[in-house]
Amino acid sequence: MLIQEIILENFMSYEYARIPLKSGVNIICGPNGAGKSSILLGISIAMGQSYTERSKKLSDLIRWGKDQGRVTLVLDNLRRRGHRPVRKINKDQIFLSRVLRRDGNYWFELDNRSAAKSDVVRLLSHFEVDPENMLIIMHQDMAEQFIVLSPQEKLKLVEAAVGLEPYRRNVSEAQRKLSRILSQEESLGKLLESAEQTLNYWREQYERYQQKKQLILQRRFLERELAWAEVSKRERKAQEIQSQIKKIEKDIGNLEDSIKNHEEKIDEFQNRMEPLKNEWRRLIEERLSLEGEKIRHEFGSSSSSEYLKELQGWLEISQKEIGNILEGMTLLEDGLKRGSNPGDFEAQLTEIRGVFETFQGSWTKMLDMKIRNMKEMIEKSKRIIIELDAQISDVLSRMEKRSMEIEGLNNEILEKRISLALFQYQKRNLSGELEGLNGEHKVALADLEQAVKEAKEMGPQIVALRNTEEIMDEIRMVDSRITALADVSEDIERMYESYSKLYLELKEKARLVAENREKTLEEIKTRMESWRKVVSSLLEHITLEYQRILTQASADGSVQFLNVHDIEAAGIEILVGFRGAKPVPLNIYTQSGGERSTATMGFLLALQQHVRSSFRAIDEYDVHMDPKNREMIANLLIASIKGQDAQYLAITPNQMLFEGKDVHIITVQNVEGTSVIKEAI
């Protein structure tokens, strides 16, 4: 079983219809114009059958007044003997759709995803369905078209329907191989003839070349002598350069010794200078410390002097003010003495004078003591400053001494560095010269090596007793003699040997091609025999079944295998004779319409047991049949599918009774311009 359900949306006379199909025989019946054929046409459209696209404009199949139509086939992907037909799709159902648009855009969909036609073909191949074979899907009038096909086309359709195409392909491949071999054999024959003529020409040229070859051998010996003479010349040049290199290397060695001696002296001076620099830096730090100490004491002495002046000022002011107070007190005493009650005031004044004189003594004593202390501090600071000046002077003296020592060493280092730079300059010049000589020596050695290599290629070493000019003179003499044979190509020997080899190779190839031709002929014979055997066996079984079916229609016939020895001309011819007449070829001229329909259906039914496709269909199979033959063919159709895992869709405008038969009947009616599935049994 292939199709579980057909879904038509805005397709021809269908607005929306779901048509379930079952395994075995499905009969679609209904009056003419109801939309029966549209169902099979929709199936073919969804499968991408070329016949439907050639015979109709797909946009015309969209229901009138709609912009888009769709046909969907629900394919059965249930497991069969443990495996699904399409193993890559792990689903029980596969939805194959074809969308048609009024603007001319059409496309396929697999499970609602856009797909190419190649994807559809690959999908259907898993179900062994070839919608292009009219023996699998036969539309209206195709029965008549099948009848008028040539015997060769009929045979190819039968082979495709039953899966015998590989046998034909095997034979065709072997025949194409034979054709290539024959073409190759013919080409080799022409090449062999041409090669023989060319070989004769080069044989004559080869004899002339032998004369020239002796002169060439003589010239090669001279070239060998010249090459070894050139080796001797280049050896002498390399030796001269080597002598110059050794002299410069010696001079560079002496300079390197001087450079090393000066570098060691510089290092020695720098090592001696380093402690001096360290001591000079230490003296600077000592001087800075002493200078700081001196500044601190000078600042302290200055501050003490200022404070001393301030104390002395206070002392003078205090003494002056005390004098004024004492003078006032004297005046007060005089006034009191002249007063009315001098005894009381005199006692108080005496007490006050005593207290003041005591205060005067303490204050004056305190100021005197501070002044003496400040003077002592100032004197002490001056003494320290004098000592610091002495120390600073000593440090400066030592710094000057170290500076002179450092300057002397710097002068020594500078002198050594100037000498060192001169030696290095001389070394660089000599090194540059040495590098140039080394380069020349390298080139000379490379030239010598190349000359030796070239000389060895010429042959073993020869003691050159002549110079290159003398050897070149003799080479020129030999060249003049070779020039006299200039019309003789130096490639003659190679060409002669090449064409000799080519001629032998062509003869060998011709022998091998002849062997391959015989093997391929045998292969074709074997494959043709296999093809004839399987096709003959198939046609024998079909003929027996065909005759059995025709017997029920009071007819006789057979299926003949024509031109069995030529696969391209081979074909089948269907013979039939009704009511005792001698069987004659089935065609549109000899039999009536009903007889043609009966004979064609008889052949198709005889073929059913051998068809591999899981789906087959035929439209109006019973056209022109009388009621008896119509019923007989219908029953045979049911019987032929019984027991097979196949699905057959038959369309008929006639009403038939199938009581007790395992048949799925679908009735189609047209109601107000819309096809409707009224009944499904």
CA dihedral of residues 434, 437, 438, 442 (deg, nearest 10):
180
pLDDT at 679: 61
Q: Band of the pLDDT at 332, cuts 50, 70, 90?
A: low
Q: How far apart are CA 328 and CA 338, in angstroms?
A: 15
CB-CB neighbours of 53 under 10 Å? 13
Q: What mean pLDDT comes out for the span 25-43?
A: 90
pLDDT at 233 over 70: yes
User: In terms of pLDDT, which residue wins out, 358 or 675?
Assistant: 675
pLDDT at 155: 93
| 369 inside domain | yes
Q: Band of the pLDDT at 355, cuts 50, 70, 90?
A: low
pLDDT at 54: 44
The parent domain of residue 187 ranges over 175-458
Q: pLDDT of 107-149, one tens digit each?
A: 999 999 999 999 999 999 888 898 888 888 888 878 888 889 9
Contacts of 578-587 with CB under 8 Å at 24 or more apart are 578/553, 578/554, 579/554, 579/555, 583/556, 583/557, 583/558, 586/147, 586/557, 587/147, 587/148
pLDDT at 121: 92
| 603 inside domain | no
Give the dihedral sign, CA 42/635/132/83: positive
| 26 inside domain | no
Q: Which residues lie closer than 8 Å to 605 by C-beta, 6 or more apart?
A: 545, 549, 633, 636, 637, 640
Scan for tokens 């009056």, then name that residue: 31
Number of domains forming the structure of the chain: 1
Q: How far apart are CA 464 and CA 451, in angstroms?
A: 14
Q: Band of the pLDDT at 443, cuts 50, 70, 90?
A: confident
pLDDT at 351: 66
Among 319-328, 392-401, 491-500, the minimum mean pLDDT is found in 319-328
User: In terms of pLDDT, which residue wins out, 324 or 575?
Assistant: 575
Q: How far apart are CA 653 and CA 617, in angstroms?
A: 15
Give the dihedral sign, CA 404/405/406/411: positive
| 299 inside domain | yes
User: Residue 62 — φ and ψ, nearest 5°?
Assistant: -75, 140
pLDDT at 379: 82
Q: What percent of the chain shows pLDDT beyond 70?
A: 90
Q: How far apart are CA 38 and CA 674, in angstroms?
A: 12
pLDDT at 272 over 90: no
pLDDT at 530 over 90: yes
Q: How far apart are CA 346 and CA 354, in angstroms?
A: 12
Q: Band of the pLDDT at 278, cuts 50, 70, 90?
A: confident
Q: How far apart are CA 229 and CA 602, in angstroms?
A: 103
Q: What mean pLDDT comes out for the span 527-554?
A: 92
pLDDT at 168 over 60: yes
Q: What percent of the chain shows pLDDT beyond 90?
A: 23
The string of DSSP letters for 455-476 reads HHHH-S-----S-HHHHHHHHH
pLDDT at 107: 94
Scan for tokens 């074909």, then name that residue: 571
Contacts of 456-463 with CB under 8 Å at 24 or more apart are 458/220, 458/223, 458/224, 458/227, 458/228, 459/220, 459/221, 459/224, 461/228, 461/231, 462/224, 462/225, 462/228, 463/228
pLDDT at 489 over 80: no
Scan for tokens 């001629």, then name that residue: 503
User: In terms of pLDDT, which residue wins out, 645 or 266?
Assistant: 266
pLDDT at 341 over 60: no
Q: pLDDT of 599-626, one tens digit each?
A: 888 898 888 888 888 898 988 877 778 8
pLDDT at 547: 92
Among 93-107, 364-378, 504-518, 570-584, the minimum mean pLDDT is found in 364-378
pLDDT at 625: 83
pLDDT at 151 over 80: yes
Helix (H, G, I), strand (E, B) or coil at 3: strand
Count CA within 13 A, CB hemisphere, residue 274.
5
pLDDT at 198: 84
Q: pLDDT of 74-111, one tens digit each?
A: 999 998 888 898 989 989 999 999 999 998 899 999 99
| 610 inside domain | no
Please state, rounded to an integer, the average pLDDT across all residues of the chain.
84
Q: What mean pLDDT comes out for the span 27-37?
A: 89
pLDDT at 575: 94
In this prediction the pTM is 0.55
| 508 inside domain | no
How far are the Cα atoms of 151, 276, 611, 679 from residue 402, in angstroms, in the given order?
130, 6, 123, 131
CB 609 within 8 A of CB 640: yes
CB 283 within 8 A of CB 398: yes
Q: How far apart are CA 446 and CA 453, in angstroms?
A: 10
Q: How far apart are CA 570 and CA 567, in angstroms?
A: 5
Q: How far apart are CA 168 and CA 81, in angstroms?
A: 30
Q: What mean pLDDT comes out for the span 280-290?
A: 83
Q: Among the ranges 47-51, 247-251, 275-279, 281-285, which has the highest mean pLDDT value?
A: 247-251
pLDDT at 572: 94
pLDDT at 448: 81
Q: How many residues does the chain have?
A: 681
Buried b (16+ CB within 10 A) or exposed e, 611-632: bebbbbbbbbbbbebeeebbbb
